[in-house]
Chain A
Amino acid sequence: MSGLSFDLIALQLFTGLALGAIYVLFAIGLSLIFGMLTVVNFAHGAFYMVGAYVGLFLLSLGGNFWLCLVAVPLIVGTSGLIVERFLIRPLYGRGIDYPLLLTFGLSYVMVELIRIAFGKSGYPFDTPEILQGAVNIGVGYFPLYRLFVIGIAAVVLLGLWLFLERTSFGLIIRAGARDPQIVRVLGVNVSRVWLFVFGIGSGIAGLAGLLAAPLQGVIPEMGATILAEAFVVTVVGGMGSIGGAVIAGLLVGVVVSMTSLFAPEMAKVSIFALMAIVLLIRPQGFFGRAGLMS
Chain B
Amino acid sequence: MNELSQTLTQPSVASAGWFDFAKRHRAILASIFVLVFPLVMPFTALAVNILIYGLFAVGFNLLFGYLGLLSFGHAALFGTGAYLCGIAIVHFGWSWYAAIVMGILGGAVMAAGIGALAIRTRGIYFAMVTMALSQCVFYLFYQAVDWTGGENGLRGINVRTIDILGLKLDFINPLTRYYVIAAFVILALFVLSRILASPFGAVIEAVRENEARARASGYDVTRTRLITFILSGAFCGLAGALMALHLSIVPIEILHIETSGMVVMMSLLGGMGTFFGPFVGAAVFLLLENLVSIWTVHWQLIVGAVFVVCVLFFPAGIWGTILKRINK
Contacts and interface: CB of A to CB of B under 8 A. Distances in A.
* Chains A and B share a contact (CB less than 8 Å): yes
Interface of A: 34, 40, 87, 90-91, 94, 96-98, 100-102, 104-109, 111-113, 115-116, 228, 231-232, 235, 239, 265, 268-269, 272-273, 275-276, 279-280, 283, 293-294
A294 B126 CA distance: 11
B123 A101 contact: no
Interface string B253-279: 000010001001100100000000000
Sorted from nearest, which 6 A-B pairs have the closest CB atoms?
A: A108-B304, A105-B307, A112-B301, A293-B123, A109-B304, A105-B308
Given A104-B265, A112-B298, A276 B129 contact: yes
Nearest to B136: A272
Given A112-B300, A112-B301, A279 B312 contact: no
Given A102-B311, A109-B308, A232-B132, A279 B298 contact: no
Interface string B108-148: 00000000010011111101110111011001000100000
Contacts of A273: 136
A105 B131 CA distance: 17
Interface in B301-328: 301, 303-305, 307-308, 310-312, 315
Contacts of A283: 120-121, 125
Nearest to A285: B125
19 contacts: A34-B124, A87-B312, A94-B315, A100-B124, A101-B265, A102-B308, A102-B312, A104-B264, A105-B304, A105-B305, A106-B308, A109-B300, A231-B128, A231-B132, A276-B117, A276-B132, A283-B120, A293-B122, A293-B124
Given A98-B315, A268-B139, A269-B136, A108 B117 contact: no
Given A276-B133, A280-B117, A101 B300 contact: no
Contacts of A97: 70
Nearest to B121: A283
B308 A87 contact: yes
Nearest to B131: A231
Contacts of B122: 293-294
A47 to B, nearest CB: 15
Contacts of B301: 108-109, 112-113, 116
Nearest to A228: B257
Nearest to B129: A279
A272 B135 contact: yes
Nearest to A291: B122
Interface hub of B123, B307, B308, B311 (most chain A Cβ within 10 A): B311
A232 B131 CA distance: 10
Interface in B54-102: 70
Contact of B121 (A105, A112, A268, A279): A279
B292 to A, nearest CB: 11
A98 B315 CA distance: 8
A233 to B, nearest CB: 11
Contacts of B135: 228, 269, 272
Given A91-B312, A107-B304, A269 B132 contact: no
B264 A108 contact: no
Given A98-B315, A102-B312, A228-B257, 20 more contacts: A40-B124, A91-B312, A94-B315, A96-B124, A98-B311, A102-B308, A105-B265, A105-B304, A105-B307, A105-B308, A107-B304, A116-B301, A235-B125, A235-B132, A269-B136, A269-B139, A272-B135, A275-B128, A279-B129, A280-B120
Given A111-B300, A112-B298, A116-B298, A100 B127 contact: yes
A294 B123 contact: yes
A272 B120 CA distance: 18
A159 B135 CA distance: 35
A101 B306 CA distance: 12
Given A101-B264, A279-B132, A112 B304 contact: yes
Nearest to B298: A112
B312 A90 contact: yes
Given A235-B125, A279-B121, A109 B132 contact: no
A273 B257 CA distance: 16
Contacts of A279: 121, 125, 128-129, 132
Interface string B158-173: 0000000000000000
B303 A108 contact: yes
B129 to A, nearest CB: 5
A108 B127 CA distance: 19
Contacts of B315: 94, 98
Contacts of B136: 269, 272-273, 276
A270 to B, nearest CB: 10
A60 B304 CA distance: 29
Nearest to B307: A105
B304 A101 contact: no
B144 to A, nearest CB: 13
B128 A106 contact: no
A182 to B, nearest CB: 22
Contacts of A276: 117, 129, 132-133, 136
Nearest to B211: A294
B326 to A, nearest CB: 23
A112 B304 CA distance: 9
A142 B259 CA distance: 39
Contacts of A107: 304
